[in-house]
Amino acid sequence: MPNIVGIDLGTTHSLIATIGHGVPRVIEDAAGRPIVPSVIHFGGDGTVHVGRDARDRMLDDSGHTISSIKRFMGRGLEDVREDLELLPFEASEESENIIRIDVFGREYTPPQLSALILKELKRMAEAALGDDVRNAVITVPAYFNDAQRQATKDAGRIAGLDVLRIVNEPTAASLAYGLQEQKHGTIAVYDFGGGTFDISLLKLSEGVFEVLSTSGDTHLGGDDIDQALMRMVMDETGRDLEPHELQRVRAASRRAKETLSDSETAALEIPEIGFARTLERDAFEAMIAPIVERTLLPCRQALKDAGIEPAGVDEVVMVGGSTRIPLVRRKVEALFGRTPHTELDPDQVVALGAAVQADILAGSRRDTLLLDVTPLSLGIETMGGVVSKIIPRNSTIPASASESFTTYVDGQTNVKIHVLQGERELVRDCRSLAEFDLRRIPPMPAGLPRIEVKFLIDADGILNVSARELRTEKFASIEVKPTYGLTDEQVETMILESFEHAEEDIELRLVIEARNEARQILEASAKSIDGEEYAELSAEEKQRIASGIAKLRSTMEGDDHQAIRDAIEENEQATHRLAELKMNAAVRKALKNKRVREIQ
């Protein structure tokens, strides 16, 4: 399989990586920069910028600049009200099940917006590799539920990617360090980024990663450290600052913070407000210690949930830009009692691991078996609001299981299948994933029907549920589209819309597709003209084929896709009888062989 890429679709930054000569590497843009800010800017004239260009416009045109879209993937309005209040863009009130963000009177869903980022990454990779990129592995946080994973997959489809696998970020980080080769052990992945903190504990057994527990803080990151420095500047300045001055303070604070990861002192200079001082690492560490300390609480919680002591952790992996801070490294080392892995670039480690996973899927690493497990149990509702589990948590995926149920009422002709996710016993404590009906069962006494419910989870953790009444063979099935998700039709429409609004010319795309098809037809024609069936054709038929080919050859040079399509059609008609003759010959041959085999 050619060119499978790994993508880290992050809250603030995204990256795309591939394998070259067996080694994962992050792909850079034309200017040699690997990181694409996860920011989208819409211009009033219909232009769309993604990445650095969009981020640069954030200050002047924040209302039309979308950031942190990952926080909204697969969520409903109630889930994200708090986040929305912190961001400058507006969601429509009809966002109950899917957030719709309004820009210049047009509504965009999170998968559509994420697709714009994915397209930019795809474009970058195609430019760097000089080839089409279609197949991708995309990472998501370990705590993402089915709806959030599905939304990520939808984003990939809208961007024109085949998402071969959705992989947990901590699993990817572990793969980047090659930890799967150790076969067994417990791994802690500490991910301290710009706006979020995540800790995941993974168990590796026989090369299979299992998520033991996750914890974190969705509003804790390097931004909080920047703000602590900004507060110090404002206290020392002693006056209120204008918004544009604040931006300068923010940028200078962040620079000073980053310098202090490598040097003992940093200059914090903001000429615009007449501020200048030197910052010592010791003073900085004293200031940020409470923030770093806040990351340790979720770590302890995750250890407790997984039922392991810090000493039971065999490997610690550091992810995210903020893990460059020496104090962070020391605190993590002290908690787990071992030196964390920091050899790889903490910004790149997830993308690199995604590329390793892609390589495994491409079959380049035959010795590695890599499977994930379901993080939560799946089941259906039975009498009295009780959940009957069908696939228990931590099952290795892909997984399938079935169980038989029956009716409780005489003559019941409809059975409602209510699919649930969670560990608790009662329906009201679990998450409802979907509901569907098995209808028109012939009336039978209660307890007589045998309804087999089958659950199938594919390698991405996406669930398909079917129900069959075994006595009458009534059947119903559903791909579980989580409550907060898009329907297939909606995704299709978005795919079409994304073409309409793409910068790349749709006409050109059609021409290229038509040309590719024409090329294949010409190759096939060249072959059949060599064959013996061609000799059976009349002179007139041969003439028609020849002129069809000539016409197709000349039309495909031009850029009228409709004309190319017409010529293809004409060609097909001209070769119709030849194709028929060949088909007959092939069938005769197949039958002949068969008879021989049967006699033996």
List active site positions: 8, 70, 169, 191
C-beta of 317 vs 549, nearer to ligand ADP: 317
Q: Of Mg ion, ligand ADP, none, which one sits near residue 57, judging by CB under 5 to 8 A according to partner kind?
A: none
Residues 570 and 125: their CA atoms lie apart, in Å, by: 38
Q: Give the nearest distance from C-beta 319 to Mg ion in angstroms.
A: 6
Between residues 10 and 422, which has the closer beta carbon with respect to ligand ADP? 10
- Nearest distance in Å: CB 73, ligand ADP: 14
x/- mask, ligand ADP, residues 210-229, rule CB under 6 A, reads -----------xxx------
Tokens standing for residue 359: 């390589």
Query: CB 56 → Mg ion: shortest distance, Å?
Result: 21
Rounded Cα distance, 152 and 51, in Å:
18
User: Tokens representing 266?
Assistant: 């940093």
**Contacts (CB under 6 A) with ligand ADP, residues 9-28:** 10-13
By beta-carbon proximity to Mg ion, the closer residue of 18 and 322 is: 322
Q: Which is nearer to ligand ADP, 202 or 325 (CB)?
A: 325
As a dihedral over the C-alpha atoms of residue 534, residue 536, residue 541, residue 545, rounded to 10 degrees, the angle is 0
Interface region with Mg ion, contact rule CB under 5 A, candidates 9-17, 26-34, 47-55, 589-597: 9-17
3-state secondary structure 441-484: CCCCCCCCCCEEEEEEECCCCCEEEEEEECCCCEEEEEECCCCC
Query: What Cα–Cα distance (Å) separates residue 253 from each residue in 39, 223, 226, 274, 495?
Result: 21, 10, 6, 14, 41
Query: Tokens at residue 417, please?
Result: 């299948």
Stretch that binds ligand ADP, among 5-13, 89-97, 508-516, 583-591 (CB under 6 A): 5-13
CB of 344 to ligand ADP, least distance (A): 13
Considering just the CA atoms, what is the radius of gyration of the chain in Å?
29
Instruction: Report the partner that residue 180 touches, choosing among ligand ADP, Mg ion, none (CB closer than 5 to 8 A by kind).
Output: none
Pick from 34, 170, 195, 449: which binds ligand ADP (CB under 6 A)?
Answer: 195
Segment interacting with ligand ADP (CB under 6 A) among 188-196, 442-450, 512-520, 547-555: 188-196
Q: Scan residues 247-276 and list those touching ligand ADP (CB under 6 A).
A: 254, 257-258, 261
- Give 150 or 196: the residue with its C-beta nearer to ligand ADP: 196
Q: What are 216's strand-pairing partners?
A: 198
- In terms of CB distance, is 154 or 169 closer to Mg ion? 169
By CB under 5 A, the residues from 163 to 202 that bind Mg ion are 193
Question: Order of strands, edge to edge, in the sheet holding 65-66?
Answer: 48-50, 40-42, 65-66
- The nearer residue to ligand ADP, 65 or 322, going by C-beta atoms, is 322
Beta carbon nearer to Mg ion, 26 or 391: 26
The CA distance from 469 to 449, in Å, is 7
Per CB under 5 A, the list member of 6, 10, 24, 221 interacting with Mg ion is: 10
CA-to-CA dists, residue 60 to 54, 56, 108, 246, 250, angstroms: 11, 8, 21, 14, 16
Nearer to Mg ion, 135 or 348 (CB): 348
Count Cβ atoms below 10 Å from residue 481 Cβ, excluding itself.
18
Q: Write the interaction track for ligand ADP spanning residues 401-420; mark x where CB under 6 A is met and - where it is not.
A: --------------------
Task: Tell which positions 57-86 bind ligand ADP, by CB under 6 A.
Answer: none
Specify burial of residue 61 (Cβ count, 10 A radius: 0-12, 13-18, 19+). middle
Contacting residue, 6, 193, 375, 548, with ligand ADP by CB under 6 A: 193
Within 114-143, the residues that bind ligand ADP by CB under 6 A are none
Q: Do the Cβ atoms of 322 and 194 come closer than 8 Å? A: yes
- On the question of a cis peptide bond just before residue 24, with omega within 30 degrees of 0, the verdict is no
Checking DSSP bridges between strand 106-108 and strand 185-192, what pairing results, if any? unpaired
DSSP per-residue codes, 325-378? SHHHHHHHHHHHTSPPB-SS-TTTHHHHHHHHHHHHHTTS-TT-----B-SS-E
Q: Of residues 289-348, which lie at the interface with ligand ADP (CB under 6 A)?
A: 320-322, 324-325, 347
Spatial CB neighbours of 316, under 8 Å, sequence gap ≥ 6: 187, 188, 189, 190, 332, 333, 336, 338, 339, 340, 341
**Which listed option, Mg ion, ligand ADP, none, makes contact with residue 67 (CB within 5 to 8 Å by class)?**
none
The answer to whether the Cα torsion of 491, 496, 501, 504 is positive or negative is positive
Q: Which does 196 bind (CB under 5 to 8 A by kind): ligand ADP, Mg ion, none?
A: ligand ADP
- Total binding residues toward ligand ADP, as defined by CB under 6 A: 21
Burial of 82 (0-12, 13-18, 19+ CB in 10 A): exposed
**Least distance (Å) between residue 345 CB and ligand ADP:** 10
Query: Contact between 37 and ligand ADP (CB under 6 A)?
Result: no
Total residue count of the chain as it appears in this document: 600
Tell me which residues touch Mg ion (CB under 5 A): 10, 193
Tell me which residues touch ligand ADP (CB under 6 A): 10-13, 193-196, 221-223, 254, 257-258, 261, 320-322, 324-325, 347
